[in-house]
Structures are given as structure tokens and as C-alpha cells.
Amino acid sequence: MRKTSVLLLAMGILVAGCIEESDGTSEVDYHGLEYEPPLAAADFTLTDQNGNEVSFSDFSGKVVIVAFTYTHCPDVCLVIEGNLDYVKSQLGDGSSQVAFISISTDPARDTPAHLLEWTVERGYDWPHLTSENHTLLQETWNSWGIAVANDHLDGDDHHSDNETEGEHSEEDGTAGEYTVGHNTITYIIDRAGNKKIAYVGADWSATEFLEDVQTLVGE
């Protein structure tokens, strides 16, 4: 397992925009890391588990939660997915105002067919996105500040040895027996389409995350 790098995590956050802990000067104190000022989120068009094209812009006017995970992850991604499922189940009347999106960091294995089987098995009904066009998916990762160690992508010209705090280690092995290193940031996007709040890693409270979502829904 590789050593983690705080430096690259910081670089990933800088790519995404300026994030800082709330200092009590804003009107609302969020539990997560708040963007000051909010930063416009990049659009994308990828393929969901049903084989349909889904764009970020499809959810204009809603609070949108965007996570970067993969189905063969042994730990962190599974925690995030479970947290999102909990948050989604607790939204009540506000559920129609919130959209959830999970984007794969492992398109080689996370095909639409596999994502459909995986989400049905777990009862996850929100879009889980991937793409056969790995370059397109890499552009999405980059535009959202997600650094992915992408040696697992066959025929990819852009290999990386990047390591980040909270990342999953990448180990060489036979096909299908590897983990994917990536920094783990879950975003909450406001109704205007701006990155508003970020949660790093998976060691965060789903209850506090839910409260931040509900706050944005009420604004």
C-alpha cells in the first residue's frame, strides 16, 4: 500500500477552487468545507446504469450531490455510497429538490451493465455514471478536481502515480484484482449550479451532511 500525500490532496482542492472551514462570518455555518466564493461546477454528459446519457445540467435548479466512487472499492467508496443512501432516505418532502450522482473512477470494470446489477442489488436508484470513452471520463475527473491513478485504463496515454490523503491504494495484479487510487471529495452543489460545500474522505457524519443539504434546499 502506498503512502498518502497531503500535498496532492491540497492540489486537488486548489484545482476545485478555494475551500475553507467556516469561521462564523457567513450567514450560515455549514458542517462541511464551504467554497468562498462558490465556484461554478463543470457540466458533463456520461452514461448511467440504464445506458442513458445523463448531464449535470439536467438537474438545473436543484441541489445536487456529486460523489466519485467505484463498485470494487473495498472500503471508503462503500461508506460514501451508504451515507448517500441514508441521506436520500431522510429527505422527506425535500427529496424532489435534491439530485444524487455517483461517477465511477473505474470505467474498465464499472460498465453500465455492471452498475445496473450492483445498484439493483443494493437498492440504489440514483444515477451511477461511467463512460466507454475514458478520455471523456478523465476530463470530468479533472474538471471536478478529482485526481485518479489511472494505470488500470487499458490503452490510456495518461498514466499517473498520484497519491492522495484518503485515497485507495493502487496495487498491480491480474485483471479485475486491483484497487483504484483517487482523492475522495463529495460535493454539494447549490441551486445556481455552484460548488458550495465539500466533504473530504469518508470520515464525516451523514447526519451533518443531511443538515447541510436541507439548509441549501431551504435557501
What is the rounded average pLDDT of the residues 60-76?
Answer: 96
pLDDT in tens, 32-62: 999 999 999 999 999 999 999 999 999 999 9
Domains and CATH numbers, the chain: 6-218 (3.40.30.10)
Predicted pLDDT at 24 = 47
Q: Please give the distance of CA 180 from its chain centroid, rounded to a whole number.
A: 14
> Other CB atoms closer than 10 Å to residue 63's CB: what's the count?
25
Name the CA dihedral angle for 148, 149, 154, 158, rounded to a multiple of 10 degrees: 80
Q: Are 148 and 105 in contact (CB under 8 A)?
A: yes
The pLDDT assigned to 25 comes to 52
Q: What pLDDT, on a 0 to 100 scale, did the predictor assign at position 9?
A: 42
Euclidean distance between CA atoms 219 and 217, whole angstroms: 6
Q: Which of 31, 59, 40, 13 is nearest to 213 (CA)?
A: 31
For the cut 90, the answer to whether the pLDDT of residue 150 exceeds it is no
Range 90-109 average pLDDT = 95
Vertex 97 angle, CA 95 and 100, to 5°: 70
Three-class SS state of 59: helix
- The reported pLDDT for the residue numbered 174 is 38
In sequence order, which residues have a C-beta less than 8 Å from that of residue 173 and are 6 or more positions away? Answer: none
Query: Between 2 and 91, whose confidence is greater?
Result: 91
* Pair 46, 103: CB distance under 8 Å: yes
The answer to whether 188 and 65 have CB atoms below 8 angstroms apart is yes
Burial 102-117 (b: 16+ CB within 10 A, else e): bbbbbbbbbbbebbee
Which residue has cell 479533472?
142
